[in-house]
Structure 1
Amino acid sequence: MQAANSWRASRRRSRARAVLTMLCVVIALSIAPGGSPAAAPIAVAVADFDYFDTSGEVVDQSAEHRARVASFAALLRDNLAAQDGYRVVRLECSDPPCTANSLSQDLFIAAARKAGARLVVYGGIRKMSTLVQWGEIQLLDLEAEKLLMRRTVTFRGDNDAAYRHAADFVGNTLKETMPKP
């Protein structure tokens, strides 16, 4: 009888050690390399951008402009997705593109919340002339219900390189402004 009790006690200790070991492994895996607990990435939605051509140019470049503006948003998404601590989520709407002007404010916010976003980047680009374009970029924190950034940027050129350069600049500006995880 005493041997059976000793065997049961030994088995309980083995189980307790196994549970303790598993708990230590779980804790160790949740610690970031820097030694602090790993923070969940912040979800960021980059909306499609509105585009306005007020240049008065004779040649219809609307297809090229749609492609460049879509590329601008995609480059921002890629830029932010490459940063540690952020996770880019997509806005879904019934009639794309999903821009701040194509949706009512309530539907735009609802789409961002449905996507799981905490932060939303949105805005528009306006072509003023053959050489000059400007963009209005905004960053909204849905959790704090606060506009974190509103920035006007100008860029020269109406080609893919100009849009890439502008998207890189805006991406770096956003990284400086966005809350850190």
Structure 2
Amino acid sequence: MMHTATPWRASSLRSRASAALTMLCALAAVSFQSGGSPAAAPIAVAVADFDYFDTSGEVADQSAEHRARVASFAALLRDHLAAQGNYRVVPIECPDQPCTATSMSQDVFIAASRKAGARLVIYGGIRKMRTLVQWGEVQLLDLEAEKLLMQRTVTFRGDNDAAYRHAADFVSDQLKETMPKP
């Protein structure tokens, strides 16, 4: 027995087709930037753990607090980059923690960064010079171009969570200005 579309069924089919077409147009609009070109995929970036050196000569052992602050510094950089949307943060895997640029040979560090799928890698260290003076070294390496894109020394005052947060915010802004865009 052959069924013919009743007006209700034809109307329902047209509505579904119209909804599907609207959805396809919306998806196409989302996947294109202004100018009509496809949106670029985020750039994969790895942020290594940062080394820490305390040369202040202070008597009190603050190594646990410093390890936590330095780990937080790297985590804040990762969070800032991920929030921008232009970057996809990928973890570097290494046999020993923390996973810093000096905890392994240069070749092994680069290989681990590439294995993580990173195009860019950020690494460095923080040195406590005196009670309230910290120095940070930050490098940005483009693994694809095999080129150092940024090498900055930053100083910050304070040996507390707020000082490290402020320094991470500043470094994030510096990276944002320097890093290639997709």
Q: Which residue of 2 aligns with 1:123?
A: 124
Instruction: Specify the alignment match of 2:113 in structure 1.
Output: 112
1:139 maps to a residue whose letter is L
Instruction: Tell me if 1:145 matches 2:146.
Output: yes
Distance 1:77 1:34, change over 3 A: farther
Match of 1:154 in 2: 155
Residue in 1 that maps onto 2:94: 93
Size of the aligned set, in residue pairs, is 162
2:172 alignment partner in structure 1: 171
Determine the structure 2 residue equivalent to 1:83: 84
Aligned residue number for residue 64 of structure 2: 63
Identity of aligned residues (%): 84
Partner of 1:44: 45
Residue identity opposite 1:85 in structure 2: N
Letter of the 1:132 partner, please give it.
Answer: V
CA positional deviation for 1:27: 5.2
Query: Residues 74-114 of structure 1: CA distance to partner in whole angstroms, max 9, x if unpaired?
Result: 00000000002111111000111110000100110011001
- Residue 33 of structure 1 deviates from its aligned partner by 5.8
Q: Mark the runs of 5 or more structure 2 residues left unpaired by the alignment.
A: 1-23
Q: Which amino acid aligns with 2:59?
A: V
SS at match of 1:154: strand
Q: Could you tell me how far 1:31 is from its partner in structure 2?
A: 1.4
The 3-state SS of whatever aligns with 2:99 is coil
Q: How far apart, CA to CA, are the structure 1 residues paired with 2:151 and 2:40?
A: 27
Q: RMSD in angstroms over aligned alpha carbons?
A: 2.1
CA distance in structure 2 between the aligned counterparts of 1:28 and 1:81, rounded to whole angstroms: 23
In the TM superposition, residue 26 of structure 1 has moved relative to its aligned partner by: 7.3
1:127 corresponds to which letter in structure 2? K
* Shift, 1:56, TM fit: 0.1
**Moved >6 Å (runs of 4+):** 23-26
Q: For residues 38 and 147 of structure 2, what CA distance do their matches in structure 1 show?
A: 27
Distance of aligned partners of 1:171 and 1:29 in 2 relative to their CA distance in 1, 3 Å threshold: closer
Distance 2:30 2:56 in 1: 56
Unaligned runs of 5+ in 1: 1-22
User: In structure 1, what is the Cα distance between the partners aligned to 2:80 and 2:102?
Assistant: 24
- How far apart are the structure 1 equivalents of 2:87 and 2:66? 29
